[in-house]
Amino acid sequence: MPFKTICKHPLTLSFFLLLLCNIANGAVEHPYGKFSFFVDHSVPDWLAKVKPAKAKGKKKGQNTEYLLVDTQVLADANNYESYYRTTSKLHTSQAVADGSEIHAQFNPEYQALYFHYINIVRNGKTINALQPEAVRLIQREEDLRNGIFDGQVTAIAIVADTRPGDILDYSYTVKGRNPIFGEKVFGAYSAGWGVDVARLHIRILVPKELRIQTREHHTDIKKKLKKKGKYLEHVWQAKNVQGIIDEGDYPLWYLRYGWVEFSEYKNWQEVDQWAASMYASIEQESSAVDTLVKTLLEDSHSIENYVLNALNFVQEDIRYLGLEIGQNSHLPHAPTEVLEKRYGDCKDKSNLLVKILRANNIKANSVLVASNYRHGFKKFLPSPSAFNHVIVRAEVDRNIVWLDPTKTFQAGGLYELGFTHYGAGLVIESDKETPIENILPINKEENSIYIKEHFIAKNTSKPTTLNIESRYQGSSAEDQRYRFSASTPEDIQLRRHNYFAKLYPKIAVKKSIEFQDDKNTNTFTVRESYTIPDFIKPDEDSFSANFYARGIGMSLYVPEQILRTTPVDIGEPRVVNHDILFDMPKNSGLYIDSTPYKHTQDGFHFSSRSAKVSNRFEYKAKLKIDQTWVEGKGITRYIDAIDFIEKDIDFSLTFAHPYEPTMSPAYQKLLKSLEN
């Protein structure tokens, strides 16, 4: 592939001078489409030399033997460089297939990628495998399905002629960092994997006048600190780092593998200052916003109504689209621009909503949250990298409400809206002692499902009617609202019919599915009606029928790996009630155990009861989940509870028909009064 010796991509002046300097030192630029990468066979002069471990042979269950994972960072805000080297032995053809493509990510808006070498060591001889013409630069936009364009580019170096038994050794450097982060430096790097690593080396080099914090997570590797000329180096290194079994199904806040981090930020207040300064740098004044506020005020009859109207406008009239290129990865676009283009990402929409609320003297702030770590970020060192989403905190009638302008299909009053349990967030421009604030719902049971299944059997030989009413509130209502908007009722009916056919193969639709959307209370109700020809089954001198409280069953999560030490995610907090009513044919006899059952475990509650009144059997079950996870030490109790609950909600009734009991006059009188 032809190469150039100048860069035509628009860059900041300092970054452009950096590239010119590297070109003068022998780096060669290779364009690919509208992007380019560099080949520089000399590694950075600030590196510490590290030798890979010697290969010891294939380990059971591991096709690749990792001899060295080396990460070194020159953490100078004005000359930021990240160096990566991996050395591995490819023991099998599968290892060759997995390891013969080298992936390196960078953002050409403010970074440049430099390959140093790709070598194959075979029978003691080193073969140069770095072929610039075999490198592809692909802008995958992996978050595109979520409406986010971030400009990230992946370089894929296709390594030719690799064979089982080869040692593959490659290194590259990414130069530059997002200028939105200013002068303070921070970063995080892996120190554990699912495979063994013979030698691990992480080195952070910072100017000696700079003071940073460091922290280790899920690793026993300790840092060593020493002076290196005009720098201080923070080094974590270890031999024979053992791979960790992936137990899966972790809560979002739990990070399984070891990692280390550093940060120049002393506390979360400094992160708040960075964010507040960034938000203050954009033009907030907007005549378009003023006009919008006037319209919202005219259409609102109260403060709460104004907030809801403003939220609805930003959610429904400003479509979600994130052009998170360069500094706009964190810097919001101006409200005027967002209103004009009618699109924006979480920070754009949140900033606009805050502006609209403040225009009506409502105290409101943008809030940085971690949708990928939830409250777990509080264990991290303070830095902007802890967060990946923005919502809004508002004070309405002395209540704190948390609003997410990126959501759609929300309805109801402020206290009936669906709620995402982020756990905590950083309130920008906070007036409190700490900007970190817990994010809690006002309505403790906002996410609820109520299902009533009513089986009506007038005769043991005729089809039984099944009427189902499912009522959803809070987040569950929003989910149903989305499903019914994305599919036709006929499609939903077909899916539902197929689901019940697995339980009752001969089930037939009696009446088309119906739904009712009460947006005033954020309640979504679905009604279904079926007939089941063989629901009641004869058995010598009695009859039987099977039941399953599926609403409870579908809310019970069993992890694939039960024998574990790590916590398991069991889903968002929710309340599920499932009632089963069975109207038996008249003159039916049934004996039941009406003893109530209860089970309570950390954040997990279940109760049920049964009753018989005249010819009706009633079963009522309730599941309440307050906590999104179960600790590893509590898994056995949790699984035992699920087993018991499954036995409770999946049951069969056996009854006699016709049945003529001998009853006392008093009992007959009682039954007659209950029937009336």
The Cβ of residue 497 has, within 10 Å, a number of other Cβ atoms equal to 15
Contact 170, 117 (CB under 8 A): yes
Residues sharing a CB contact under 8 Å with residue 147, sequence separation 6 or more, in sequence order = 319, 320, 321, 322, 345
- Single out the residue of 208, 500, 176 nearest to residue 327, CA to CA: 176
How many C-beta neighbours within 10 Å does residue 481 have?
A: 21
Find all residues with CB under 8 Å of 368, minimum gap 6, and list them: 275, 384, 386, 387, 389, 390, 425, 426, 428
Bridge pairing between strands 148-149 and 448-456: unpaired
Indicate the length of the chain as a whole number: 676
Among residues 116, 271, 109, 259, which one has the least CA distance to residue 177?
109
Take residue 57 and report the two structure tokens written for it: 């042979």
Contacts of 293 (CB under 8 A, 6+ apart): 356, 359, 360
| Residue 395 pLDDT | 96
Q: What share of the chain is helix, strand, coil (3-state, %, to 5)?
A: 25, 35, 40
- Distance between CA 3 and CA 297 in Å, rounded? 60
- In 3D, which of 67, 118, 64 has the Cα closest to residue 92? 64
Residue 3 has a pLDDT of 27
Tell me the C-alpha distance between 658 and 185, whole Å.
81
The token pair at 462 is: 């005729």
What residues are paired with 13 via a beta bridge?
Answer: none
Two tokens, residue 154: 């992946």
pTM for this one? Answer: 0.88
Quick one: CA dihedral 211, 109, 83, 220, positive or negative? Answer: positive
The secondary structure of residue 222, as a DSSP letter, is P
Using the 8-state DSSP alphabet, how is residue 630 labeled? E
Burial class of residue 183 (count of CB atoms within 10 Å of its CB; 0-12, 13-18, 19+): exposed
Q: Strands 197-207, 64-74: parallel, antiparallel or unpaired by DSSP?
A: parallel
Locate 163 and state its tokens: 């064979």
Which tokens go with 89? 């032995």
Q: 374: helix, coil or strand?
A: helix
Q: What is the largest CA-CA distance in the chain?
A: 108
Where in the chain is CATH 2.60.120.1130?
Answer: 448-655
Name the 3-class secondary structure at 645: helix
Q: Choose among 617, 444, 625: nearest CA to 536.
A: 617
Give the span between the Cα atoms of 606 and 273, in whole angstroms.
Answer: 46
- Please state, in angstroms and rounded to a whole number, the distance separating the CA atoms of residues 518 and 311: 18
CATH 2.60.40.3140 location in the chain = 13-264
Sequence-separated (6 or more) residues with CB below 8 Å from residue 450:
470, 471, 576, 577, 578, 579
Q: Would you identify the CATH topology of the domain 448-655?
A: Jelly Rolls (2.60.120)
Q: According to the model, what pLDDT value does residue 143 have?
A: 54
Pairing of strands 448-456, 464-473: antiparallel
- pLDDT given for residue 671 in this prediction: 59
| Parts of the chain belonging to CATH 3.10.620.30 | 271-439
What CA–CA distances, in Å, run from 420 to 104, 153, 210, 423, 571? 34, 31, 38, 9, 11
- Rounded to 5 degrees, what angle do the CA atoms 663, 667, 673 make? 130
Can you read off the two tokens belonging to residue 384?
Answer: 């902007």
Give residue 324's pLDDT. Answer: 72
For residues 26 and 434, what is the distance between their CA atoms, to the nearest angstrom? 49
CATH class assigned to 13-264: mainly beta
Low-confidence ranges of the chain (pLDDT < 70): 1-25, 140-148, 444-445, 660-676
Q: Going by DSSP bridges, is the β-strand pair 167-175/112-122 parallel, antiparallel, or unpaired?
A: antiparallel
Domain 271-439 top-level CATH class: alpha beta
The one-letter amino acid code at 547 reads F
Q: How far apart are the first and last CA of the chain?
A: 91
* Angle subtended at Cα 140 by Cα 135 and Cα 141, rounded to the nearest 5 degrees: 145
- Cis ω before 658 (30° cut-off from 0): yes
DSSP code at position 51? P
